[in-house]
Chains A and B, each alone.
Chain A
């Protein structure tokens, strides 16, 4: 699936929640609970995303020229939010991630439930994922 196809799927999932805040928050936390565990030895100071109020750890691996992210957070809601990003970007090429336009946030009305401080944190996660993509792209270019 392409980045946009996954985003459309997320938009459709969220539309079922009918804008109910409590259901939305529960749903986001459920998504976080489904995120595969990140090994404790990867939850290092270096892997913490800077700019988030909660602790968010993020790592990326390249397999067959595609990126796969692992993430965790000490708060359930943030873990749910980062899981959305992992779902969108996992299995995509560095180029696709770098050029990806994340329009799903506006469509699901994310600003209503994450507030200003979390918005900044969310932007920091996206930036970190794109930085990983750039780093791997550069590495691939050097190799070839």
Chain B
């Protein structure tokens, strides 16, 4: 995550210039300048993305693929351009491997409901980890229940890192699917997914990577990782809500049954038999979320132009700064201290409930997340109800972290009275 050392000291990221591209950041909340530290939940959108949405609706809104008129042609072209951008963004082999979905949750559900239903049999095993978001737990529970398969979980250590020895001991010829995240939404841990994929492939299992917390922060190369499936959510990558990508290896996508039936996903329909469309359309039933997909391209271009290495270095810098400052408060307990982390700082405060901290910080215009972050089993592992989570994006600054620390100190001092 640390930027390669260079002889120049000029920062690769001009935060002030970047902030100018995010209109939402320039407002007051409760009479104070907004500090937005809930980026792991959703990131804010730059003007290029907002304008792309406006341009689409103002200039060329039309249903795609079937129309022959000019607007339909223009919309289709823009929609498919995003697919090309996405292919390059994650280094997929072809655009046929890029399926547009609503986000990571739908991507995982799609694989569980199609690949899972078709290929999981009684007695098979699916492995996830204790670090997973509910959306990478529940779809597999549904498959396991239906197919009488077993769901196993990779243990985390006290730092919040996956225990690969434990993973190794869970793997066997019964293992059919392994599904883990690239980075944890609750703790920020970056998982050694390349190694996990290699180990899973040795026993013949396919691997899905939940990339929700990686998309805007870590370089993704699905070929280098050798991932079988990889999911991304646009809205956590400076893009619109309601769209995302499921990458799947063509050989796997081809043998999977369709997910939903409807328009777009068919070749021919008679009342006797329907033949399905080719990839990727086989998995895109109905009119898709055209506008958001079109604008998603601009979000990926925005990330590419800044460079993930530069973004990662800036966020790492913020994380190190915030960790040092927050750790210095005696009442604070950090949760998740992995060596390799994205910009997520999770902590608890002795004697103060996370909800109270969240509300107090909001009163000072600071947006953080509090609670279990949709990872209740993980919270149970650490024997806590939840945490306070500050998560950073490319537009955040050290001055904002100082505001967070200041707010936190005020709450703690008040509660000590």
Contact = CB atoms under 8 A, between A and B. Distances in A.
A67 interface: no
A74 B362 CA distance: 19
Contact of B414 (A29, A74, A78, A113): A29
A22 B352 CA distance: 16
A75 B364 contact: no
B353 A74 contact: yes
Contacts of A78: 355
A53 B363 contact: no
A72 B341 CA distance: 38
A76 B356 CA distance: 6
B359 interface: yes
A22 B356 contact: no
B30 interface: yes
Nearest to B30: A21
Contacts of A26: 414
Interface string B406-417: 000000001100
Interface string B386-417: 00000000000000000000000000001100
Interface string A17-41: 0001110111001000000000000
Interface residues of A, number: 15
A54 interface: yes
B363 A54 contact: no
B355 A25 contact: no
B102 to A, nearest CB: 23
B363 A24 contact: yes
Given A22-B360, A26-B414, A29-B414, A75 B30 contact: no
A48 interface: no
A101 B255 CA distance: 63
Interface in B340-364: 352-353, 355-356, 359-360, 362-364
Contact of A25 (B31, B352, B353, B359): B359
Given A22-B30, A76-B415, A54 B360 contact: no
A51 to B, nearest CB: 15
A56 B263 CA distance: 50
Nearest to B360: A25
B356 A75 contact: yes
Interface in A31-77: 53-54, 74-77
Contact of B355 (A20, A77, A113): A77
Given A29-B414, A76-B415, A22 B364 contact: yes
A20 B31 CA distance: 8
A52 to B, nearest CB: 11
A22 B355 contact: no
B367 to A, nearest CB: 12
A26 to B, nearest CB: 6
Most buried by B among A24, A29, A74, A78: A29
A75 B362 CA distance: 16
B356 A29 contact: yes
A77 B31 CA distance: 21
A75 B414 contact: no
Given A25-B360, A25-B363, A54 B353 contact: yes
A21 B363 contact: yes
B385 to A, nearest CB: 8
Contacts of B31: 20-21
Contact of A77 (B30, B359, B364): B359
Contacts of B414: 26, 29
11 contacts: A20-B31, A21-B362, A22-B363, A25-B359, A29-B356, A29-B415, A53-B355, A75-B355, A76-B352, A76-B353, A76-B356
Given A21-B31, A21-B362, A22-B360, 20 more contacts: A20-B31, A21-B30, A21-B363, A22-B30, A22-B363, A22-B364, A24-B363, A25-B359, A25-B360, A26-B414, A29-B356, A29-B414, A53-B355, A75-B353, A76-B353, A76-B356, A77-B359, A78-B355, A113-B359, A113-B363
Interface of A: 20-22, 24-26, 29, 53-54, 74-78, 113
Enumerate the 7 nearest inter-chain pairs by beta-carbon distance, A residue then B residue, closest first: A21-B363, A75-B353, A21-B30, A22-B363, A75-B355, A76-B356, A25-B363
